[in-house]
């Protein structure tokens, strides 16, 4: 795809200029002809460099929400699909989003369905988005479906923000602790060690804690490069192992088993699963397709496998609730409510209620986790740094006692 700048006139003689995206110059001219524009100048714009493009970043959830809400409003107002895409492409501030919408418009003008055009851009529009749009097109409820999509993405953003806030606080505290301890061990402790060495004429006679801290400081100074290399290597190795199916399954199972954090991850996974599946079923997506899409977006391999087992159960004519209950991942209340929803034919409504409940549970879990971690982190920092400070002052106290 390329961007073409054009200057021309409408059939009524009014001047017209702008930009459009097309595969070739001939295709751009044909698109303008269909819009009843007589072209006087048509030139391909130079492509931006890769570095400049990368500065524009990707497409955020917020960009998708804004696009979806505006699109739903325009469709509801009766504007033609292609005109909506043209307007949204022109006013989008995100370069990648603008380019993507332009390419989608070209595909739609070429006879493709809106859902098929979106499917060509999986990095921007995921399976959930595309399948809901497809269901909306088939049912003639595109504006309604887009409204549901925007609401779903906004709630998913809120959930993601809560999880990030729960992770950021302990990570920040641990980062500060590592920096403070490194500064003390590499720059401050050697000054004390030199002073004690000059005062005592050797290392003999130093209290045990003091000697321990000085030895640790000497080790860090001598091997700081190797320590950094090993730390980076461990981080890289963990990332590579987690990228494998076996590694991800093992680590995700361990995450769910963590005392406090595991409960938060479980509640977030349940909220995401029920919200996504409920939205898909309400929008007319078949339940088998909905379970497949939901498993891909679960974010946890253990939850993903449990959902796929439930899908297999449905395909064999059984219920969804039974395999979910056997997995041990989903709480009994959730599987019981899903079972009731299946038996009453109101599964989508029941899933929505579960999602609302677990959204509140995640809020409470994050607040509880923050309240629990704050004193724990303070105690940890105070203990470590306090031990180092006391260890350094022990020889001074001993010397003062001797003099006295």
Judge whether residue 195 has pLDDT over 70. yes
For residue 327, CA distances in Å to 74, 303, 304, 362 come to 44, 9, 11, 21
Check residues 74 and 46 and name the one with the higher pLDDT.
74
Residue 235: band (very low, low, confident or very high) from pLDDT cuts 50, 70, 90 = very high
Report the Cα–Cα distance between both ends of the chain, in Å, rounded: 86
Question: Side by side, which strands form the sheet with 37-44?
Answer: 15-22, 2-10, 37-44
Residue 54: band (very low, low, confident or very high) from pLDDT cuts 50, 70, 90 = very low
Are 97 and 67 in contact by the 8 Å Cβ rule? The answer is yes
Q: How far apart are CA 166 and CA 363, in angstroms?
A: 10
Q: What angle do CA 169, 174, 179 make, to 5 degrees?
A: 130
Q: How far apart are CA 37 and CA 12, in angstroms?
A: 10
DSSP letter, residue 45: P
pLDDT in tens, 264-309: 888 888 888 898 888 888 888 888 888 888 888 777 889 888 998 8
pLDDT at 204: 54
Are 255 and 265 in contact by the 8 Å Cβ rule? The answer is yes
Q: Which of 353, 361, 332 is nearest to 269 (CA)?
A: 361
pLDDT in tens, 139-162: 888 888 888 888 888 888 888 887
Non-local CB neighbours of 234 within 8 Å, separated by 6+ positions: none
pLDDT in tens, 302-356: 988 899 888 888 888 888 888 888 888 888 999 999 999 988 888 889 998 999 8
State both tokens at 45: 């714009």
Judge whether residue 130 has pLDDT over 60. yes
Judge whether residue 169 has pLDDT over 80. no
pLDDT at 201: 59
Q: How far apart are CA 48 and CA 53, in angstroms?
A: 6
State both tokens at 156: 């998913």
pLDDT at 153: 87
Statement: the pTM of the whole predicted model exceeds 0.85: no
Mean pLDDT on 164-177? 80
């Amino acid at each position: 795809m390329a961007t073409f700048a054009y200057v021309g006139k409408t059939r009524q003689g009014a001047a017209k200029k702008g930009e459009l995206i097309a595969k070739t110059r001939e295709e751009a001219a044909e698109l303008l002809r269909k819009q009843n524009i007589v072209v006087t100048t048509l030139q391909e714009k130079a492509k931006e460099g890769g570095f400049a493009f990368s500065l524009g970043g990707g497409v955020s959830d917020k960009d998708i929400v804004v696009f979806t809400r505006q699109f739903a409003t325009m469709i509801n107002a009766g504007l033609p699909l292609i005109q909506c895409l043209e307007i949204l492409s022109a006013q989008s501030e995100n370069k990648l989003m603008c380019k993507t919408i332009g390419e989608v418009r070209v595909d739609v003008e070429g006879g493709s369905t809106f859902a098929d055009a979106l499917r060509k851009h999986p990095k921007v529009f995921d399976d959930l988005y595309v399948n809901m749009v497809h269901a909306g097109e088939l049912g003639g409820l595109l504006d309604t479906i887009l409204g549901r999509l925007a609401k779903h993405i906004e709630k998913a953003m809120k959930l993601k923000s809560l999880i990030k806030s729960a992770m950021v606080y302990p990570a920040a505290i641990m980062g500060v602790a590592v920096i403070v301890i490194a500064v003390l061990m590499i720059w401050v402790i050697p000054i004390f060690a030199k002073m004690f060495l000059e005062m005592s004429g050797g290392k003999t006679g130093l209290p045990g804690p003091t000697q321990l801290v000085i030895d640790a400081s000497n080790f860090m100074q001598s091997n700081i490069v190797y320590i950094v290399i090993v730390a980076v290597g461990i981080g890289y190795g963990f990332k590579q192992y987690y990228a494998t199916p076996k590694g991800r399954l093992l680590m995700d199972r361990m995450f769910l088993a963590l005392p406090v954090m595991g409960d938060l991850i479980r509640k977030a996974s349940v909220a995401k699963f029920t919200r996504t599946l409920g939205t898909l079923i309400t929008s007319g997506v078949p339940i088998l397709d909905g379970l497949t899409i939901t498993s891909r977006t679960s974010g946890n391999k253990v939850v993903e496998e449990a959902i796929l087992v439930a899908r297999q159960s449905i395909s064999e004519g059984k219920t969804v609730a039974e395999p979910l209950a056997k997995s041990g991942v989903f709480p009994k209340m959730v599987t019981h409510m899903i079972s009731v929803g299946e038996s009453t034919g109101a599964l989508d409504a029941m899933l929505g209620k579960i999602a609302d409940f677990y959204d509140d549970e995640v809020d409470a879990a994050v607040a509880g986790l923050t309240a629990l971690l704050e004193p724990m982190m303070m105690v940890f920092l105070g203990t470590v740094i306090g031990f180092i400070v006391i260890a350094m002052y022990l020889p001074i106290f001993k010397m003062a006692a001797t003099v006295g």
